[in-house]
Amino acid sequence: MEVLAGLAYGFGIALQPMNLLWCLLGCVLGTLVGIMPGLGPAAAIAMLMPISFNMDPTGGIIMLAGIYYGAKYGGSTTSILLNIPGEASSVASCIDGYQMAKRGRAGAALGIAAIASFVAGTFGVVLLTLVAPPIARFALSFSSPEYFALLSLGLALVVLFAGESPIKAALAMLLGLWFTSIGIDLFSAQARFTFGQTALLNGIDFMIVAIGVFAVAEVLGSVQARTDAQLLSVPRGIRNLLPNWEELKACRFALVNGSITGFLVGVLPGAGSSISSFIAYAFEKLFSKHPERFGQGAPEGLAAPEAANNADTSGALVPMLTLGLPGGGTTAILLSALVLWGLKPGPMLMQDSPNVFWGLVASMYIGNLMLLLLNLPLVPLFAQALRIPAYVLFPMILGISVVGVFGVAQSIFHVGLLAGFGLLGYAMARLGFPGAPLILGFVLGDGMERALRQSLQMSGGDLGILVSRPIAAGLLVAAVLVLIMPLVGRFNRWRLRGIAENG
């Protein structure tokens, strides 16, 4: 009841005309930021902070948060149309989203992304409203051993990303582990695999690897196949611009899975939204009746990561609003905005400034609705982009890739790395190595190494800490099961074949 009263109070604030306007402005800017690679939500919020200081804190945080969750809506657009992730969180959306577009279902893919974002975004806010304090306590019981187990499960799921050869998928993943350990080691301040380059001391940004292996490699692959006239077929008629009933039905479970996975992973401090979207994608494939459709343009393979990265936003706000602990770069800058307004984020925020807390939560219900209404009409507009002839589109993709990388790294050296990863991605595709496991290894590997070493620091070198804690043990058992299951299937097939041949 307390929650309902708080929410009603919040809607009273969020529905004030000025606050509605700030919410709309934040959502529009967020969508734009999401679409543009190279302009991330953290940088956009930092740019707008000086303006928002002249606003009252409630309106200000409503607008800045709108940019944060709005960017997740827009992020999928370039993933689907150009195979260039707009944000780190929409890398997983490239896999099936771009394939859908290639099959002439670009409009449907954009529609599914918007709907999945809306459903999961709203679901996430409902959870934020109802269970913020208890879920924050749950998140605290999660520490390094549990992270290690979770990330091991994530990496075990790589076998699901495998195409024909699980060995090649595993090798691609291990290559990702290597790339992610380039840079200064947090624990020892030792520089690893930097080849004497100062520019490598901070490691390689995830976006560089993702854009190189997906977008640049795709351009090279298409040049080889000489898809001269049209890269993607243009959908004709309004009906083909929207997802059909079959596609929506296929996404039912993906919406639930993505919402829950995204929210729960989002709550954990230190796990970014790229992790939650990959894990949701892998779960979706694991439980699917048609895992073979994944990577070929399965709508549920797009809906799951899109849902996850939107539910993740609400999840990430839980530790920030209840404990003052930001989970990533964007929430950190939101937090610093609250501090500069003179508010005190922390366990007392809900009591000290209920107008900010409940106003923000209520505005997120409104904002998600606004974003759906804003994004659906954009679908036909963006689908027109497909009419661009290939000889314009390919240079454009290369250009956007460069801008995107320069935007995150601010250095030509890293643009050079982009070219390198493009070549690597192309070579991998030619040699039958899947690209997604490399990205997954890169995303998860860094955190996994850290979690393992932290666990061993806690236990004084005793590996037993990984199995003596119930959550960690459970997750590790799940990881082992995931690894064993396909082997059992393979063994059965082999045995049956043997029986058939002999009998």
- Subset of 414-453 contacting other proteins (CB under 8 A): 415-416, 418-419, 422-423, 426, 430-433, 445, 449-450, 452-453
> Backbone dihedral region of 419: left (phi > 0), alpha (psi from -120 to 50 degrees) or beta?
alpha
Structure-token match 């582990």, residue found: 177
Structure tokens at 283: 């779960």
Q: Which one of the spans 97-105, 124-132, 319-327, 476-484 is the region binding other proteins (CB under 8 A)?
A: 319-327
Among 12, 21, 193, 488, binds other proteins (CB under 8 A): 193
Report the first-to-last Cα separation within the chain, whole angstroms: 69
Q: Counting contacts by CB under 8 A, is residue 129 touching other proteins?
A: no
- HSE-up of 248 (CA within 13 Å, CB side)? 8
Q: Answer yes or no: are the C-beta atoms of 87 and 71 closer than 8 Å.
A: yes
CB within 8 Å of 12: residues ≥ 6 apart: none
Residues 224-253 that bind other proteins (CB under 8 A): 224-226, 228
The answer to whether the beta carbons of residues 14 and 62 sit under 8 Å apart is yes
Q: Which is nearer to other proteins, 39 or 120 (CB)?
A: 39
For residue 487, state whether it binds other proteins (rule: CB under 8 A). Answer: no
Please state, as a whole number, how many other Cβ atoms lie within 10 Å of the Cβ of residue 28.
17
Smallest separation, CB 222 to other proteins (Å): 9
Please identify which residue in 1, 17, 289, 410 interacts with other proteins, judged by CB under 8 A: 410
- Which parts of 455-484 interact with other proteins (CB under 8 A)? 456-458, 460-461
**Smallest distance from other proteins to CB 137, Å:** 9
Site for other proteins in 371-390 (CB under 8 A): 390
Cα–Cα distance between 257 and 264 in angstroms, integer?
11
219 belongs to the binding site for other proteins (CB under 8 A): yes
Residue from 104, 133, 270, 291 that binds other proteins (CB under 8 A)? 270
> Which one among 257, 330, 353, 375 touches other proteins, defined by CB under 8 A?
330
Instruction: Please write down the HEC assignment for all residues of 185-249.
Output: CCCCCCEECCCCCHHHCCCCCHHHHHHHHHHHHHHHHHHHHCCCCCCCCCCCCHHHHCCCHHHHH
Q: Which residue of 126, 184, 256, 473 would you call a contact of other proteins, by CB under 8 A?
A: 184
- 43 touching other proteins, by CB under 8 A: yes
What 8-state DSSP symbol labels residue 142? -
Please identify, using beta-carbon distances, which residue of 117 and 454 lies nearer to other proteins: 454
Q: How far is the CB of 371 from other proteins (least distance, A)?
A: 20
Q: What string marks each residue from 137 to 156 as x (binds other proteins by CB under 8 A) or -? A: --xxxxxx------------
Q: Which of 12, 399, 489, 498 binds other proteins (CB under 8 A)?
A: 399
Closest approach, Cβ 249 to other proteins, in A, equals: 38
The least CB distance from residue 42 to other proteins, in Å, is 5
User: In terms of Cα–Cα distance, which of 235, 316, 238 is closest to 274?
Assistant: 316
Q: How far is the CB of 355 from other proteins (least distance, A)?
A: 18
- By beta-carbon proximity to other proteins, the closer residue of 258 and 327 is 327
- Do you know the residue count of the chain? 503
How far apart are alpha carbons 411 and 40 in whole angstroms? Answer: 16
Angle made by CA atoms 232, 302, 128, in degrees to the nearest 5: 145
| Minimum distance from residue 89 beta carbon to other proteins (Å) | 16
